[in-house]
Amino acid sequence: MTCKTGYSAIPAITSLLLALLASVQAAAQNTYDLDALADGQLILNLNATEQTSVDQDTLNVFMQYTAQGRNTVALQDEVNRVLREALDILDDTDNIVFSIQQYNVYPIDRGNTSSPTWRAQQSIQMQSMNSESLLVVTARLQDTGLTISNMNYSLSSERYEAVSDSLMAAALAKLQARADEVARLLDKDSARLIEINLNGSQNFGAPMFGVSEMRLSAAAGAMSVPVAEPGRAQVTFTVNARALLSP
C-alpha cells in the first residue's frame, strides 16, 4: 500500500517511534526462529511505502575544453593555459565544489600516419547548491573557451537523507499501528516488530537548461548567463517487517 505524503506534513516522531528506530539495526540482523513461538504467539508480515516529491537543490555542470591540430605540444599547452585560467576563476569562489576530470590526447585521423590530426581534451565537473552563483561562473568559463557537455539538477545527499529519514519514521509508525490493530482484533496483548528491512530510493527529474540560447548569445560579446531550472525528485521509502503478536 502506497501513501503519498508531503514532507511538511510528516508528524513528529513520538517516544514510541524513537524506541523503534533505535532497535532497527539490531532487528534487521536477526531472523526470528519460528520454532521458538510460545503458545498463542503469531507472526505477522507487514509492509508500508511512503513517498514524497521534493525540489532538487543542487546544480551540476560538466564543461570541457577541446583543441585540435597536428602539433601535440602546442595543443597540450593550449589546454593547459585555458584550464589554468578556469581554475583561477573557480579558486575565487567559496560555494562551488569542483574537480578536474580526465585529460585525453588522441589522434582523430589514424589513416594519416605521417601527419595525423590530434585532439586534446580536459574537463571540469562543478557542483553547488547556490545555482545562481554557479551559472554566473559557468558563463565566465564559457568566455574562456570551455563548453557545456552536461548540466542537470540533483537532490543533495543531506536533503535526501533528511527526507528519507522522515519517510522511514512515518512508515515504521504505520507498521506499528497496523500490528497493534491486528493484535487488538485477534485479542492479543502486545505487538512487537522483530524483523525490519529498509529500502529507500529516489527518482530523478529531467534536467532543464537553455543550451541554444547560450550558444546564440556568444557572438554578441560577453557570454550570457545560462538558463537552468530545477526539477523535482520523488523520494520513496519502503519498510518490510515482521511483528510478533503475543497474548
Question: Can you give the residue ranges of every domain in the chain?
Answer: 2-55+157-203+235-246, 58-154
Is the pLDDT confidence value at 7 over 80? no
Average pLDDT, stretch 143-153? Answer: 93
Written as one letter, the residue type at 29 is Q
Q: Is the pLDDT of residue 11 over 60?
A: no
Is the pLDDT at 211 greater than 50? The verdict is no
Report the pLDDT value the prediction gives residue 12, as an integer from 0 to 100: 41
Out of 12-21, 57-66, 92-101, 113-122, pick the least confident. Answer: 12-21
pLDDT in tens, 109-128: 766 677 889 999 999 999 99
Render the burial of 10-43: b for 16+ CB within 10 Å, e for the rest.
beebeeebeebbeebeebeeeeeeeeeeeeeeee
Of the candidate CATH numbers 3.10.300.10, 3.20.20.140, 3.40.50.1820, 3.30.70.360, the domain formed by 58-154 belongs to 3.30.70.360
- Give the pLDDT mean for 28-48: 75
At residue 169, the pLDDT reads: 92
Q: How confident is the model at residue 218 (pLDDT cuts 50, 70, 90)?
A: very low
Domain 2-55+157-203+235-246 part of CATH 1.20.1440: no
- What pTM, to 2 d.p., does this model score? 0.67
Return the axis-axis angle of helices 72-91 and 131-144, rounded to nearest 10°: 150
Q: How far apart are the first and last CA of the chain?
A: 28
